Structure 1
Amino acid sequence: MPEMADEITRDQIDWITFDCYGTLVDWEGAFGSLCYSIGLRNTPEPPPGPELRRRWEEIQFEIIQGPYQTYKHILAESIRSWCLEMDYRWSDSYGPAMTTAMRSIQAFHDTKPALERAREAGLNLAIISNTDRDIITHSIKQIGVPFDKVIVAEDVGAYKPSPKVFEYAIEQIGADPARMLHTAFGFKYDIGPAQQFGMKTAWVNRNAEKLPNDQIQPDFIWPDLWGLAAYAGRPYDV
């Protein structure tokens, strides 16, 4: 059952803002598969895909906190650094392959129906994502639900968890942040920074992990986006 903050009622929220990758689409699964496929080109028994993907993501997280580059460059630079660390042969095809994979990631099974129910309930939907405009366009196509606002790192020249991203997003949406519920899988990218601007937060804990930071308490913890549908007053009917 979704864990919910009873004091935040449906009529207190006008906007649901989302992280996209890992929240709406299966970012971990896609890049776990891609990293494992690179591993297989180098050794018959690479480590499991999730382990490889976690290390690549750590490298990527370090890079996005440096000077701004487009996400396509971040993808290429991070996978090159990862290959070097893993002692895997590098191919110039890997950078474009990462971008293609990013554009092709499929939505979680609960994403479209949950978002449709939220929209039916009168909630406005927005994406705040660490990506490029020409990548998110494809991701929205995979999701199959329209969004009222889409803000990407390319618009800001910075990546989450930079406060610049949330400051810009709130300005573009033009609503009171206290009436926004930011819904995200990436705890370190999203939950704390959103709270700093007065947004309510929902952590989508798809992997049933322990709370990463006891000092940061989301208003909601959901195992998937059916928690959002329930919050909107349109729960999943078994």
Structure 2
Amino acid sequence: MTLKNSPRPQWLTFDCYGTLIQWDEGLKAVAAQILRDKGDHPVDVNRLIEVYDRHEHRLEQTPPHRSFRQLSTLGLHMALEELGLASSAEDSQRLAAAIPKMPPFPEVIDTLARLKTMGFKVCIVSNTDDDIIAGNVAQLGGHIDRVITAQQAGAYKPNPQLFDYAHAQLGVSRDQVVHICASPTLDHTAARDMHFRCVWIDRGTGRQLLPDYQPDAILSTLDQVVPLFESLGW
């Protein structure tokens, strides 16, 4: 299904980190802080994040299901060890404490307000824990109607279980939602496999499209969603 000549969605579902919340910027800041505490070493921030992401995403799909707090702790420990750096409990505590404080992108709150004025219901679907995302949702101006997490569903994107759980909770079918996201690896994979409509917010981070999937629209900032939907008569 494509956006043009398709029905107006009952709900808009949003990825949180990287779409609404400044994930890359926040993660770089906390990674830099962790590395500074390790003293003199050759590891740079981007390398630590690359290795951490690899471990985190693998752990998300590896039984048994863990809370995001648990797997991010383990993923960071594995990343630091792989890079030859000692890890400590303070490292993971610092990461967990930093995530809820990561702010929204500048255009996000006004855009969410406009979408609500247009009559859309707004739900976040995120690979995180309820207590972690609560701090981010509190910064979004009261415009979020529902928050669905991996903790609630017992599964992480791109596992369809998380989206099936979200759609069931919202009382909608796959063709009654449009998903708005920043991650090709996680969200586009689910959209491709489950055939729900998807808008990609490509903020120029270097993330690449999947070779076998094209989102229904590609925008550079969230505020471009409003004129897109207006052009569709929504």
TM-score (norm 2): 0.90
> 2:156 aligned to 155, 159, 162, which one?
159
> 2:27 aligned to 28, 31, 35, which one?
31
> 2:48 aligned to 40, 48, 52, which one?
52
* C-alpha spacing 1:116/1:223, structure 2 compared with 1 (3 Å): same
Q: Is the 8 A contact 2:11 2:120 kept in 1?
A: yes
Within a 5 Å distance, the mapping from 1:58-137 to structure 2 comes to 58-67=54-63, 68-137=65-134
CA distance in 2 between counterparts of 1:88 and 1:45 reads 8
Q: Residue 133 of structure 1 aligns to which amino acid in structure 2?
A: D
In structure 1, list runs of 5 or more residues that go unmatched.
none
Q: Residue 60 of structure 2 aligns to which amino acid in structure 1?
A: I
Aligned residues: 230
* 3-state DSSP of counterpart to 1:203: strand
Q: Residue 145 of structure 1 aligns to which amino acid in structure 2?
A: G
CA distance in 2 between counterparts of 1:197 and 1:137 reads 28
1:197 paired residue number: 194
* C-alpha spacing 1:208/1:220, structure 2 compared with 1 (3 Å): farther
Instruction: Measure how far apart 1:156 and its partner are.
Output: 1.1
Instruction: Measure how far apart 1:106 and its partner are.
Output: 0.7
CA distance in 2 between counterparts of 1:175 and 1:38 reads 43
Q: Is the 8 A contact 1:40 1:46 kept in 2?
A: no
* C-alpha spacing 1:8/1:209, structure 2 compared with 1 (3 Å): farther
Q: Is the 8 A contact 2:153 2:161 kept in 1?
A: yes
User: Which stretches of structure 1, 4 residues or longer, exceed 6 Å deviation after superposition?
Assistant: none
CA distance in 2 between counterparts of 1:189 and 1:210 reads 11
User: Identity percentage over the alignment?
Assistant: 25
> 2:219 aligned to 222, 228, 235, which one?
222
Instruction: Measure how far apart 1:11 and its partner are.
Output: 5.4
Instruction: Measure how far apart 1:233 and its partner are.
Output: 2.8
Instruction: Measure how far apart 1:9 and its partner are.
Output: 5.5
1:174 paired residue number: 171
Instruction: Measure how far apart 1:44 and its partner are.
Output: 4.4
* 3-state DSSP of counterpart to 2:199: strand
Q: Residue 149 of structure 1 aligns to which amino acid in structure 2?
A: R
Q: Residue 147 of structure 1 aligns to which amino acid in structure 2?
A: I
